[in-house]
Structure 1
Amino acid sequence: MRSGDDGARRSQASVHRRWRHQRVLRQSSCRDAADGHCLLDMTPYRGIVSYQPSELVVTARAGTPLAELEAALAEHGQMLAFEPPHFGPGATLGGCVAAGLSGPRRMAAGAVRDFVLGARLLDSQGHILAFGGEVMKNVAGYDVSRLQAGAQGIFGALLEVSLKVVPRPAVVESLRLPATQDEALRWFGQWRGRPLPISASCWTADGAADGGGAVVLRLAGAPPAVQAAREVLGGELLDAAQAHDWWESLREQSHAFFDRGMPLWRLAVPPTAPALALGPTLIEWGGGQRWLSGHYDAQAVRAAAAQAGGHATLFRAAGRAAPADGVFHPLSDGVAAITRRLKQELDPAGLFNPGRLVPEL
């Protein structure tokens, strides 16, 4: 939140006036950051509002810890289909939706936005807006609740989110198959055309210097389907503990590939795109998500991603300055126009996360 101008101060006062009676922010704090912005801590506003296991729907406040939410779902044999990363014990539902990040299961289940049913949002005038669910208020015809996924909080402060949840699979098994990057991409293409219960896939060089590496697959579903897929795919069956640790290291980026001292690029490209030959790469989502670790020219990486039909994000700068056009791939003209329109409608004061998603907003 921007704290330097009168409009922002008026909006903050409005927020506190409206919420003093509702006791929403009674434990929250607003701190001035080094860059002059006010940091609004939403973590005290937590808890599951409603959960209907039979309807596969849960509504929770933005500050609800992801671990707490996932534990409640697990008690009923359910889960968040998009397998969100936590990146630490402080992960919350609001942060999960605002970041819009999905884990290894995204290739089979869908992204965060695909499971958002509704949301409550605090705008820059202190109004609480409801989208989706029983109350629908669209802006310019857009599904605003789903647009919060990956918006980095630029439209307002998320208060509550309603999500569709799914049953946990009966059986989960993981396989490891030696492969080069080209072989892995070819196999991914072949497997996409077959009814195989693959819930996650990854290729990594595994430290091989000869172009080799390995594909790791996760199968999930009914026992007969998983057993049949194992017979078709072959490979080495990983024991349950080893497989759990592998997929967790991928989701939480604790795998050795994700060297914290190196810049990390995330490239989202069509799964059919060939190897990009940019440098050390880890491939997920059947070829649709590619991680690039190392020091690279931003324009060169983005040009390669665009040529393949995708886009590139500087996921972690590792102490280096962000590119002049921001960490996110520049938006297309059409998407940029829609984003500006929504920002003007929901946050005309420019109070929330200025410059976070788009440098000029």
Structure 2
Amino acid sequence: LAPLANGIFAGTSSTWPGKSLSRKKINLNQPVLTADFEASPIFDETGTVNGIFAICNQSLKTTEPVSSKNRSGLTRLSDSERIAVAPVKKLLDLVSILDTSLEFIGMMDTEGNAQYANPTALKTLGWDSYEGRNIWDATFPEDRGMIEDIIDECLSKGFLSTEIRFRNAKTNQPFWLKWNLSVNCDPVTGEVIGLSSVSQNVTELRRMQRSLIESEARFRNILAQSPLPIALTRGKDVVIESINEPMLYFMGKGGQNVIGKKMLEVLPELQHQAVLKIVGTVLETGEVFQGTEVPVQLVMDGELQQFYFNLTYSPLIEDGAITGVLHSAYDVTHQVEARMKIEENEAELKRRVEERTQELM
């Protein structure tokens, strides 16, 4: 390896076309395997060779064990050999990282022809190999114009990140990428030679987001159609996120838009009442509160009036955290007032009976 590596760095050789080399093994009692190498130099920004890109294909041929040993029976590389091999090792380490990455990693030329795809990308694309493949093999026909625009914008800006769908060749099913696209330039001439991508598959994330949106839509539909007053608030500030018309009516805010407002902005009269403290307790403990005939004072027609509600406050738990409270209320003011009137009448009747009894005695 050392002479060939030195040749690359000295500029006397630009490739190793199919050289058959004996690979030294630590255990010299084992046969030495033969491998075919193809390599090309890697240039830095100044045009200096600072690395080697090598592809090694192991052959089935073997040779006899290497006889040059030190006292321990192990073969040692010279200092010059270690210096020559170090860049190759770094590059092989990089290739190993790319091949084992769970990220979607690929490269293509300016015409869209695939130049590299790591195993994750190949599996996602449904390709057995990237050779002979083109980006349009993974594109739905109706998306081609949009992807062409994305590539043009990336070539203009140097980098672009967007969510885009592609097609699995084997299943014809779509998958979504957080497509991080960057321009590759020739280190010597600065000419654009292609595009590379290190991207994340966000198909499952988008599915979850879609399910969440659909669930929220169903919830809002149920809430809007429910005859029972319902509201959903978020956080310690009790910010109204959803509310139906019956609840607005009970609050004396029928037809008003209160979404995104704090409950105290809408009903400042609740400042020193028990109901908001109860909501805070539900947020802290995660325990459902159910109360009957809870007294609440609300401003109606410009006057502070007494009402009674059967209330339920249920915690909204997302990813293990309490993020909001679902409010439901049922106005029982008339029933409470009627019962209180009956109780007053009964108390008055009892008082009069007792007075009359005292008179007769």
Q: Please, what TM-score do these two structures have when normalized by structure 2?
A: 0.20
Structure scoring higher RCO (CA < 8 A, sep ≥ 6) equals 1
Q: Report the structure number with the largest CA radius of gyration.
A: 2
More helix as a share of residues: 2
Q: Please, what TM-score do these two structures have when normalized by structure 1?
A: 0.20
More strand as a share of residues: 2
